[in-house]
Amino acid sequence: MRITKERLLIVLIIATLSVALINRAFPHDPKHVFPGMKSQVVADLIYSVIEADRTLYSRHVVDRMQDTGTVIASENWTHRNALPLPAQMLLMAGKRVENKGLGLEYRLASLWPIYKKNGPISDFERKGLLAVQQHPEKPFSAIVKRGKQQHFQAIYSDKAVSKACVDCHNSHVLSPKRDYRLNDVMGGVIISFRLE
């Protein structure tokens, strides 16, 4: 079979179309952790687990144990007969996940943190915590560079869902903000994972 210009052109068109189709089915774009799954969806899935654990631990363990007079939750739980605070539970779980070395990290942060370590550590975090303050229902997310690596970061609002949140933060000696009210956004859950 002779190689004519027309045949060459047809082969070229078929090859280009095939590459385009394969790329569409299995995107290499760093925005995608799994082929076909957007990073925002991955972050939403991770957040749904964190949020369920945080809410259920607060409601069914801490509130219930305190209401029935069984045991209290206290910041100094390691030194006394007490449960860890919900914030401490989330932060401990986040550290445990981080230590697995999978490139996944999460923590609880605020623009008015009781401890400075829980404040924003980048411009992105400062902007994001402010954004979820104004639009609590909308996570704030972007791809951020850390050295040579790209990470997907998403911030979800953390609200004062009970009076206990407000009372404790308004009266804590180290709290820089003392006028929280019920349903205020007190901070955010920051999720970050490596892209590649």
Give the interface with ligand HEC as residue ranges (CB under 6 A).
58, 75, 85-88, 91, 108-110, 113-115, 118, 158-162, 164-165, 168-169, 186-187
Question: If you search the block for the tokens 């989330």, which residue do you land on?
Answer: 90
Q: How open is the CA angle 25-138-140, to the nearest 5 degrees? A: 75
Q: Which is nearer to ligand HEC, 69 or 147 (CB)?
A: 69
Torsion sign across C-alpha atoms 160, 161, 162, 163 = positive
**At closest approach, how far in Å is the CB of 28 from ligand HEC?**
37
**At closest approach, how far in Å is the CB of 181 from ligand HEC?**
12
Helix (H, G, I), strand (E, B) or coil at 129: helix
Please tell me the distance from the alpha carbon of residue 138 to that of residue 101, in angstroms, as a whole number: 29
**At closest approach, how far in Å is the CB of 188 from ligand HEC?**
7
**At closest approach, how far in Å is the CB of 44 from ligand HEC?**
19
Residue 81 identity (one-letter amino acid): N
Go through 65-84 and write b for each residue having 16 or more CB atoms within 10 A of its CB, e for each that does not: eeeeeeeebeeebeeeebbb
Please tell me the distance from the alpha carbon of residue 115 to that of residue 119, in angstroms, as a whole number: 7
Which helix (H) or strand (E) covers residue 15, if one does?
helix 5-25
Q: Which is nearer to ligand HEC, 31 or 59 (CB)?
A: 59
Q: Which is nearer to ligand HEC, 43 or 168 (CB)?
A: 168
Q: Where are the alpha helices (DSSP H) in 64-176?
A: 64-67, 86-99, 123-134, 163-171
**At closest approach, how far in Å is the CB of 14 from ligand HEC?**
56
Q: Which is nearer to ligand HEC, 66 or 150 (CB)?
A: 66
